[in-house]
């Protein structure tokens, strides 16, 4: 019987790069309606874990399933279509395109673009794109009204903070079931970080069933937003639980502060 509370279930995941074990048999699951914090020192395998789940890396051993379906051998495109959408640590927008185009392209999977209609139903394709542009502006406006006003700027002209916001907007319009955020607050000041976390909490409330995994360095951020925390070190999961438990865990303190 499949546990229908579980959205993602990664079992015994191993990822080797030559002799290096980037992930060494980790077990992580994400529930529906949950914000999971994924923390750990640099190089502990957090981003590798995202790359494995989204199909960018082929894992060496183990199994990943999503809503009960085995996705271990699926391509990144198939996994995205199932509803796993991620952001990137160093933002990966389509930089020569406008902010608006970036968000519209996030809706690609909701479409079935056909060559036939771009020739013969061109007006319908255009008015459909215009409607999508409105939707994109609305979500940009929710995150930062400034972004909606400057939506014709090229993505490369944006400040780092706004790039991350656009990346999250682009991910949300893809209607994800599981959202993976890779250090969304890196480079933000405390006020901006708080704003972003409020936005993330708001998103979670409005989208029913959405699971979010968030990689973070900032412990105060994790303490405010994550309901459950998983700690990685050297490719292994060393702790799991709510933040107050994790904070007192001896192994976690050693990983972050060194042995006493």
Partner 1 sequence: MKKGKLLLIGVFFELLLLALIVIFLKIDNFLQSILIFAVAVGIWFLLARKTRMVENLGMAMEEKRKELLLIALLMVIILPFFFLNNIYIIHILILALIYAIAAVGLDFQMGSTGMVNFAQGTMLGIGAYTSALLCTTFGVSFWIGLVGAIIVSGIFGVILGLPTLKTKEYHLSLVTIAFAYVGYLLILNMKWTGGPDGIAGIPKPKLFGFSLSRSIDIGGISIPGKMLYFYLVLLALVLLIIVASRLKNSWLGLTWNAVRDDEISAKCYGIRLMPYKLLSFVFGSVFAGIAGVLYAHLVGFISTESMAFSVDLLLVAMVILGGMDNIAGVIVGAILLVIIPEKFRSIQDFRILLYAVTLILMLVFRPQGLIPKKVRVYRNISGNR
Nearest 5°: the CA angle 211, 212, 213 is 130
Q: How many CB atoms lie within 10 A of CB 54?
A: 19
Given 28, 104, 221, 222, the residue binding partner 1 (CB under 8 A): 104
With binding defined as CB under 8 A, does residue 131 bind partner 1? yes
With binding defined as CB under 8 A, does residue 95 bind partner 1? yes
Binding residues for partner 1, total number by CB under 8 A: 45
Nearer to partner 1, 46 or 86 (CB): 86
With binding defined as CB under 8 A, does residue 194 bind partner 1? no
Site for partner 1 in 62-91 (CB under 8 A): 75-77, 80-81, 85-86, 88
With binding defined as CB under 8 A, does residue 2 bind partner 1? no
Binding site for partner 1 (CB under 8 A): 54, 56, 75-77, 80-81, 85-86, 88, 92-98, 100-101, 104-106, 108-109, 111, 113, 115, 117-119, 122, 125-127, 129-131, 133-134, 137, 149, 152, 154, 170, 174
């Amino acid at each position: 019987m499949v546990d229908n509370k579980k959205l993602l279930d990664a079992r015994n995941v191993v990822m080797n790069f030559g002799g290096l074990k980037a992930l060494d048999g980790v077990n992580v699951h994400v529930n529906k309606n949950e914000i999971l914090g994924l923390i750990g020192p640099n190089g502990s395998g957090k981003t590798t874990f995202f790359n494995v789940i989204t199909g960018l890396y082929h894992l060496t051993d183990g199994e990943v399933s999503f809503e009960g379906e085995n996705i271990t051998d699926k391509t990144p495109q198939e996994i995205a279509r199932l509803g796993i959408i991620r952001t990137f640590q160093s933002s990966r927008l389509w930089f020569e395109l406008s902010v608006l185009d970036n968000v519209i392209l996030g809706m690609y999977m909701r479409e079935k673009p056909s060559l036939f209609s771009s020739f013969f139903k061109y007006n319908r394709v255009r008015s459909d794109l215009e409607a999508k542009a409105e939707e994109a502006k609305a979500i940009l406006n929710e995150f930062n009204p400034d972004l909606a006003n400057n939506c014709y700027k090229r993505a490369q002209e944006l400040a780092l903070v706004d790039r991350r916001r656009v990346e999250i907007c682009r991910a949300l319009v893809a209607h994800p079931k599981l959202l993976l955020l890779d250090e969304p607050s890196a480079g933000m000041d405390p006020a901006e970080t708080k704003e972003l976390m409020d936005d993330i909490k708001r998103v979670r409330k409005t989208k029913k069933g959405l699971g979010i995994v968030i990689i973070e360095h900032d412990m105060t951020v994790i303490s405010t937003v994550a309901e459950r925390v998983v700690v990685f070190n050297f490719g292994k999961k060393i702790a799991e639980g709510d933040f107050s438990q994790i904070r007192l865990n001896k192994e976690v303190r050693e990983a972050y502060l060194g042995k006493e």
